[in-house]
């Protein structure tokens, strides 16, 4: 059942995560890394809470389906971009992240136009997001992370994002084909 309310607890939590982004960036740049990591973890926990509350108490809404992933993407983008300011190697994740999110956004618009709705994140997208968060928190807290470990974690992030991109693209193509078949019948 669809919930068309705007001011639901999950939507407020998603909006709160967006409002939290400047504080995450600020704590990073004033070198309060533990506080920054704490805010990132807090943001992640509110993300888990809003998803749980939305499903458990039937508060899933069209706005929430849009706002939640936007909060995720903006938070991750801000963290990755901040880390790029102090580590060139993080740039490989930033490039893949931007390419993936722009492509997925375009695909999402096409799917929405064709079938009139969106779908929730799949398990592979959630695993990728979790690993991205863990990698970014590790890089925020561990300033002298061995370059080999850093590179391995960043390459795994890129591989997971690539896999997720491919899996979502396959799903989107199937949805679009099905919509076109139904339209032609």
Domain spans in the chain, listed from the N-terminal domain onward: 9-184
Q: How far is CA 132 from CA 18, 129, 136, in A?
A: 17, 5, 6
pLDDT in tens, 106-149: 998 898 888 887 777 889 998 999 999 999 999 999 989 999 99
Q: How far is CA 60 from CA 43, 72, 105, in A?
A: 19, 17, 20
Look at residue 1 and tell me whether its pLDDT is greater than 50: no
So what's the pLDDT on residue 32?
97
Residue with tokens 């669809």: 2
Q: List the CATH code of the domain at 9-184.
A: 1.20.120.1760
CA proximity to 131, closest of 96, 169, 170: 96
CA distance 138 to 167: 27
């Amino acid at each position: 059942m669809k919930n068309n309310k705007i001011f639901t607890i999950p939507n407020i939590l998603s909006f709160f995560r967006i409002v939290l982004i400047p504080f995450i960036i600020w704590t990073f740049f004033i070198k309060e890394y533990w506080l920054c990591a704490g805010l990132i973890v807090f943001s992640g926990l509110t993300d888990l809470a809003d998803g749980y509350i939305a499903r458990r108490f039937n508060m899933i809404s069209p706005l929430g389906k849009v706002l939640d992933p936007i909060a995720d993407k903006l938070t991750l983008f801000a963290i990755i971009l901040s880390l790029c300011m102090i580590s060139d190697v993080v740039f490989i994740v930033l490039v893949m992240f931007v390419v993936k999110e722009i492509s997925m956004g375009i695909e999402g618009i096409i799917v929405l136009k064709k079938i009139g709705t969106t779908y929730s994140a799949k398990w592979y997208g959630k695993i990728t997001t979790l690993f991205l968060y863990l990698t970014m928190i590790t890089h925020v807290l561990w300033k002298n992370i061995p370059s080999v470990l850093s590179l391995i974690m960043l390459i795994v992030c890129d591989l997971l994002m690539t896999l997720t991109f491919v899996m979502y693209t396959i799903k989107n193509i199937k949805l679009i084909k099905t919509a076109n078949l139904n339209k032609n019948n």
